[in-house]
Structure formats: structure tokens, C-alpha cells
Amino acid sequence: MAEFLVTGGAGFIGSNLVDALLAAGHGVRVLDNLSMGKRSNLPLDNPRLRFIEGDVADAEVVAQAVAGCAGVAHLAAVASVQASVDDPVSTHQSNFIGTLNVCEAMRQHGVRRVVYASSAAIYGNNGEGVAIDEATAKAPLTPYASDKLAGEHYLDFYRRQHGLEPAVFRFFNIFGPRQDPSSPYSGVISIFTQRAQQGLPISVFGDGEQTRDFFYVGDLVMLLMQGLLSEQVVSDPLNVGWSQAVSLNQLLAEIGVLCGGLPPVTHLPARAGDIRHSRADNARLQAHYHMPEQTPLREGLRQLLGV
């Protein structure tokens, strides 16, 4: 039985991937420091799952977790862009040093395949208003984006020098069950759906006409599985989005339909540095991966809301 390591596996995307790996009969190790992740996201009673509470910034812990595994999904990071703006030094430990530790541990232990969670944030405001392809000039505007882009470069170095096989995905806006809504910087869908269900007022930063390319976590997991398990992977980074722009106002209308109405919606000034329009060109992803059937936004929201 092949055993895979999922760093950040107690978090939103990671725990959904863990479920899929276990369902496919694999063994899974999770390395997570529980800064955002939760034990309750994991089926801890499954004998094929081993949970290691530890930090990816600790090289020794990472080396132990990597030794003997068949491949790594490296998802551990502080996912909030704003957290990196507030505390670049500490988030750099998780978001960059963690990635370097994973690369080095894989080199030491001869593990080759790694799936890496990069981000559309590396494009900054470039490509705004058009579908962003992978060749779009990189313009990381925050420590979060700089760390993600640096991680891509290091993975490429370890590929050329040491034979690592990175599958690099630049996620656009992922949503779905287990995305934690508890911080003001959590993903917008997790915040809006929770507040709509609880009847609490909703704040929109700006006029609500900004757009995002929302991608359901269940669909993402099918791509991550291919990245981990397929015979060969393309080493070039690939955008993960549906190339569909949805405005926050459209999103709210959908949530209103599913919840039978909305609580009061207030408009506040736009967030500094907020990207106005973000939409992926996914032609390269389509060329190299078997695309899942798209879970429509309304269906994904239904799953999330349990309606």
C-alpha cells in the first residue's frame, strides 16, 4: 500500500484530499501544526491515517514525515494573504522555509513526486480583466505571493538538480466544505454563507462588482490526485480555475436564493491592494489533465450550506 504525506492535511483543502486518498485505498500521513487545521477534519480512527502534529518549518520533523512515503502533497501554509502583510517574518517560515524543507527532505530520502499549492496571487494585478494564462508576467504584491513564487522556483531547481517531479498548481479561488470562516480574512464564500445562515450582516468591500473564478474543492481534489498518482506530470505550473468570472453581487444573489433571503448587506471601502478581476485561462490544465466535470457554483454552495 502506497503511503502519501499531506502537509497541511488538517486544513480545508488538505483534509478533503486526505478523504479522497483514503477512499482510494492509500495510506496517508498528515503533518499539520493545527494553526488553522483541526483534528475534527480528519478521520483519526482510520488505521491507514497517521497524524503528526508538527511544523513544516522544522527540518527534522519534515524529514521524518517524508522518509519512506510515495509522494507528497505540500499544502501547509498560512493561506491568508493579509496575515503575510501583517507578519511577513513569521508567515515566511511556514510559506517558504516549509517548502524548502520539503524539497530537501525529499532529496535526502529519494522521494520524487510533490504536488505544490501555488496561487493566482503571484500574478498580482497583471492580466486583470482578461483570462490570465501562465505566461502572464508575475507581480507578487505581498509576502504571501512572493513566498509562493519563490517556492515554485525552488521546486524547479530541485527538479533540474535532483530529479524531483513537481506538479505545481496555481489555485484561483477555492471554496467548499471545511473552509474556515472564522477570520475576517477567510475566503469570501465561507464568510458570506456562514453569515447568511446565521442572519448576520454581510460586508462587501467595494461595489461588489469585483469578480473571482471560484473552483469547488471536490473538483480540485480530483486534479490533486492526478498530480500525485499519474505516471508522469508536466513540470510547468498550471492555473486551476474554470475561466468564469463571478461578481460578489452575483454570488450574493445565489446565496440569497438558496437561503431564502439575505441579511442586511453593507458596502465598505475596497480593501487596499484588492485585485479587481481574477479569471484563469485554463487551456494548459485542460491539455494535460483529465478535467473533472465542473461542480456548478450553485451546487457547490448547496453542498456547503447543506440545503
190 is an interface residue for ligand NAD by CB under 6 A: no
Of 172 and 242, the one with the shorter C-beta distance to ligand UD1 is: 172
**Single residue of 7, 136, 173, 295 touching ligand UD1 by CB under 6 A:** 173
Q: Judge whether 144 counts as a catalytic residue.
A: yes
- Give, as one character, the DSSP assignment of residue 120: G
Spatial separation of the C-alpha atoms in residues 65 and 76, rounded to whole Å:
13
Q: Which is nearer to ligand NAD, 201 or 296 (CB)?
A: 296
Nearest to 26 by CA among 38, 17, 34, 13: 17
Strands 173-175 and 246-247 turn out to be unpaired
In angstroms, what is the C-alpha Rg of the chain?
Answer: 19
- Choice between 205 and 292, CB closer to ligand UD1: 205
Instruction: For helices 143-162 and 98-109, give the axis angle rounded to 10 degrees.
Output: 10
Decide if residue 33 touches ligand UD1 (CB under 6 A): no
Q: Is 76 in the site for ligand NAD (CB under 6 A)?
A: yes
Residue type, 247: S
Per-residue HEC secondary structure of 217-258 comes to HHHHHHHHHHHHHCCCCCCCCEEECCCCCEEHHHHHHHHHHH
* Residue 294 interacts with which of ligand NAD, ligand UD1, none, CB < 5 to 8 Å by class: none
Q: Is 188 in the site for ligand UD1 (CB under 6 A)?
A: yes
Between 73 and 121, name the residue whose CB sits nearer to ligand UD1.
121
* Residues belonging to the chain: 307
CA distances from 108 to 100, 190, 194, 223, 259 (A): 12, 39, 44, 27, 52
Residue 210, contacted partner among ligand UD1, ligand NAD, none, CB below 5-8 A by kind = ligand UD1
Cell of 56: 513544516
Please pick, from the candidates 84, 94, 136, 194, the single residue that binds ligand NAD as defined by CB under 6 A. Answer: 94
User: Which of 238, 142, 258, 124 shows the shortest CA–CA distance to 189?
Assistant: 258
Adjacent-strand bridge partners of 307: none
Query: Residue 187 interacts with ligand NAD (CB under 6 A)?
Result: yes
Binder of residue 191, out of ligand UD1, ligand NAD, none (CB less than 5 to 8 A by kind) = ligand UD1
Q: Which of 116, 123, 144, 289 is catalytic?
A: 144
Find the binder of ligand NAD among 18, 69, 72, 78 (CB under 6 A): 78
- Candidate list 2, 52, 180, 205; residue touching ligand UD1; CB under 6 A: 205
Interaction between residue 77 and ligand NAD (CB under 6 A): yes
Q: Which residues bind ligand NAD (CB under 6 A)?
A: 8, 10-14, 32-37, 55-57, 75-79, 94, 98, 117, 119, 171, 173-174, 180, 187
Which are the catalytic amino acids? 144
